Amino acid sequence: MDLIGAPLVVKDHNSKTAIITKVGRKYIHVIPMKSGKLTMKKITPQQYIKAKFEVLNISLVDAITKFLNHAGGYTEAVKTELERVKNECST
């Protein structure tokens, strides 16, 4: 489980893109790209391993911009978290 450089852009075994925003002691905070409204999920390290996430070599700022332009919209929590991560990366 190589999450030392979080936040990260990853894809799972179904080639679905996601952004890992935080890694805590118990949970990994993930925003998966999907149809409809984007929401934040908390997954366990076991779920992370099972999903076979693979780190993508994509600019995090570009990925965040694409997520914020998602046609299905997003929750206020997702917007706040993505903007926080984007500001962290810019500094």
Measured at the CA of 89, the angle between CA 50 and CA 48, to 5 degrees, comes to: 5
Does 2 reside within a domain?
A: no
Residue 88: the pLDDT is 87
pLDDT over threshold 60, residue 5: yes
Residue 1: the pLDDT is 53
Domain residues for the domain of 82 are: 8-90
pLDDT over threshold 70, residue 3: no
Does 86 reside within a domain?
A: yes
For residue 68, what is the enclosing H or E element? helix 60-68
Does 22 reside within a domain?
A: yes
Does 1 reside within a domain?
A: no
Does 3 reside within a domain?
A: no
The domain total for the chain is: 1
Does 53 reside within a domain?
A: yes
Residue 61: the pLDDT is 92
- b (16+ CB within 10 A) / e for 29-63: bbbbbeeeebebeebeeeebeebebeeeeeebeeb
Tens-place pLDDT, residues 40-89: 999 999 999 999 999 999 999 999 999 999 989 999 999 999 999 999 88
Q: Which residue has the higher pLDDT, 90 or 21?
A: 21
